[in-house]
Amino acid sequence: MAEVINMPRLSDTMEEGTVASWLKKVGDKVEEGDILAEIETDKATMEFESFNEGTLLHIGLQEGETAKVDSLLAIIGEEGEDISALISGGSASAVAEEAPAEAPVAEASAPAASAEVPEGVIVVTMPRLSDTMEEGTVATWLKKVGDEVEEGDILAEIETDKATMEFESFQSGNLLYIGLEEGESAKVDSLLAIIGPAGTDVSAVASGFGSAPAAAAPAKTEEPKAAAPKAEAPKAAPAPKAAAPVATPKVSSDGGRLFVSPLAKKMAEEKGFNIADIPGSGENGRIVKRDVENFTPKAAALAAAAGVSTPASEESFVEIKNSNMRKAIAKNLAKSKFTAPHYYLNVEFDMDNAIAFRKEVNAIPDTKVSFNDIVVKACAMALKLHPQVNSQWFDDRMKLNNHVHIGVAVAVEDGLLVPVVKFADQRKLTQIGAAVKEYAIKAKTKKLSLEEMEGSTFTISNLGMFGIDTFTSIINQPNSAILSVGAIVQKPVVKDGEIVVGNTMKLCLAADHRTIDGATGAQFLQTLKGFIENPISMLL
């Protein structure tokens, strides 16, 4: 069955997009993960990949044309399939209703139709807050049913595959209906909320919205009201909705009342913290997100969370629900590992000069440079001399990048984030160090923006600070290579025919054989060796 592809929301403030270029044309075969087009948003020009397989049957916007989010962008289906009805329908909501009901019924019940939606009422759907996001989880609602909403107000915090992000309203009115409770997940474009004039009955709109989780099964006539009590909540029982837990009272260790935000409660549970041990900085001592992020648990609490108190000979386990980020990491790494023909080149560099160089640089007041900063700078300069390594692979072409944007892998609780140091070859060592430090802090507090995680042409993963001397990494596609950096180790080495104490560091380049031949990878590492073993050369 043909799938309608709408203009995605590729940033949290995006209202419309412009097709910069199509990478597929009508009649082309499309695989899941193929880049369909480059979309210019309010922040950047981003690649938009397909989540469907089939043949590109229709293009709704030509290159250079602009349309609102959720406008018809393309249609993918089986070759020769009749899509005339979909083209005339022009929206995903109409298509969603056509599948379970006859066309006349679908047209009558589609929530997007102006005749069915009361005047002034706006249906808010789950936004696509990252270019790879397929579903989102409501971490917390910052508004409750009945609240006034102004344009620009933060409605909710949405957990995507990359981060937990604030989602702001683009409309003003009253929050009439909430389609997903805190902790619930749904696909992009599912019903999230309804905003409109106070007192408006939106139960029919909610129950008729085909992608709302509660109303997904009964898609035809009067049955949704009985089968989907959530859709009736704003009309029949507004009080429970209005009382959605903005603060959850609990009891502290001294018997007093404890106030906790839903997001803080969820984060504390995930980390295994006793919520009563966390001091609150919000109103009336309310425990909020930042309190959990800044809390350092006692050793006893950590031991209990780790299950140390479990009696001997008793089996025990903890199940942790996979976050959207963890699921996205699993999908992307599996795709990279099983589609890109990886090969690995291992080298060991003499770090004596780099150690002396860093010591001299850090002796300058207000200056701090790490060995990782030196590696980033050296890679950036080597990549300028070896553009083949600074390349990206696509099914129909290979892109050799003249700019150098280096992704620096940062470990966070839910997995791995890769903020990007843009134009790294043009930055000073101190500027690279400041950028990496800032990104690391943002990554750990989930404050990285999409723009700060996009556009890498090469990636560096450093586990040296954990004492790992050598390891291999999986390529961060569509990049062609990733460099694994180990710890600096002091050991006996041979210099000028004598055994002396030296400092060495092992690195491993994982490369995609489709774009980088073995000799090319080796030449890149030789150039990199020259910069790292003689870092003064990077300043000349």
SS (H, E, C) 45-94: EEEEECCCCEEEEEECCCCCCEEECCCEEEEEECCCCCCHHHHHHCCHHH
Residue 18 near residue 39, CB atoms below 8 Å: yes
User: How many CB atoms neighbour CB 440 within 10 A?
Assistant: 17
* CA–CA distance, 404 with 390 (Å, rounded to integer): 7
- Taking CB atoms within 8 Å and a gap of at least 24, the contacts of 81-89 are 81/2, 81/57, 83/2, 83/57, 83/58, 86/2, 86/4, 86/58, 87/58, 87/60, 89/4
- Name the pLDDT band for 111 (thresholds 50, 70, 90): very low
Give the active site residues: 513, 517
> Residue 36 has what pLDDT?
87
Write out pLDDT tens, residues 337-387. Answer: 999 999 999 999 999 999 999 999 999 998 889 999 999 999 999 999 999
> Residue 417 has what pLDDT?
87
* CA–CA distance, 131 with 72 (Å, rounded to integer): 17
Dig out the tokens for 30 from the structure.
Answer: 């499309």
* CA–CA distance, 336 with 334 (Å, rounded to integer): 5
**More confident of the two residues 437 and 290:** 437
Mean pLDDT of the chain: 80
Q: What is the side-by-side strand order in the sheet with 16-22?
A: 45-49, 35-40, 16-22, 66-68
Beta bridge partners of 358: none
Nearest CA among 51, 205, 54 for reference residue 120: 205
> Residue 430 has what pLDDT?
92
* CA–CA distance, 44 with 9 (Å, rounded to integer): 12
Q: Tell me, what amino acid is at 405?
A: H
Q: What is the side-by-side strand order in the sheet with 72-77?
A: 3-6, 72-77, 54-59, 29-30
Using CA atoms of 203, 198, 159, 273 in order, give the dihedral in degrees to the nearest 10: -100
pLDDT reading at 157 higher than 90: no
> Residue 113 has what pLDDT?
40
CB-based contacts of 176, cutoff 8 Å, min separation 6: 121, 145, 194, 195, 196, 200, 202, 234
Burial grade of 10 (CB within 10 A; 0-12, 13-18, 19 or more):
buried
Write out pLDDT tens, residues 494-513. Answer: 999 999 999 999 999 999 99
Nearest CA among 401, 404, 379 for reference residue 392: 401
Write out pLDDT tens, residues 368-377. Answer: 899 999 999 9
Nearest CA among 4, 217, 13 for reference residue 112: 4
* CA–CA distance, 489 with 350 (Å, rounded to integer): 10
Dig out the tokens for 181 from the structure.
Answer: 């409770």
> Residue 12 has what pLDDT?
55
User: How many CB atoms neighbour CB 312 within 10 A?
Assistant: 4
Q: Tell me phi and psi for residue 224, to 5 degrees.
A: -55, -30
Give the side-chain half-sphere CA count within 13 A for 274. 15
Q: Tell me phi and psi for residue 488, to 5 degrees.
A: -80, 125
> Residue 310 has what pLDDT?
54
Write out pLDDT tens, residues 127-156. Answer: 887 666 788 889 889 999 999 998 878 888
pLDDT reading at 205 higher than 80: yes
User: How many CB atoms neighbour CB 313 within 10 A?
Assistant: 5
Label the pairing between strands 45-49 and 342-350.
Answer: unpaired
Write out pLDDT tens, residues 215-265. Answer: 333 333 333 333 333 333 333 333 333 333 333 344 444 445 566 776 677
Among 254-263, 285-294, 526-535, the least confident range: 254-263
* CA–CA distance, 106 with 156 (Å, rounded to integer): 30
**More confident of the two residues 103 and 464:** 464
Nearest CA among 477, 454, 455, 456 for reference residue 341: 477
CB-based contacts of 136, cutoff 8 Å, min separation 6: 126, 127, 129, 158, 159, 160, 185, 186, 188, 324
**More confident of the two residues 286 and 9:** 9
DSSP 486: E
Residue 37 near residue 19, CB atoms below 8 Å: yes
* CA–CA distance, 454 with 146 (Å, rounded to integer): 38
> Residue 43 has what pLDDT?
60
pLDDT reading at 94 higher than 80: no
Using CA atoms of 221, 223, 229, 235 in order, give the dihedral in degrees to the nearest 10: 50
When pLDDT is averaged across residues 456-470 and rounded to a whole number, the result is 94
When pLDDT is averaged across residues 73-102 and rounded to a whole number, the result is 65
Among 41-45, 286-290, 395-399, 484-488, the least confident range: 41-45
**More confident of the two residues 310 and 207:** 207
Highest-confidence segment of 272-286, 316-330, 439-453? 439-453
Residue 22 near residue 36, CB atoms below 8 Å: yes
Write out pLDDT tens, residues 57-72. Answer: 999 999 989 998 888 8
Nearest CA among 252, 29, 166 for reference residue 446: 166
When pLDDT is averaged across residues 31-54 and rounded to a whole number, the result is 79
pLDDT reading at 516 higher than 90: yes
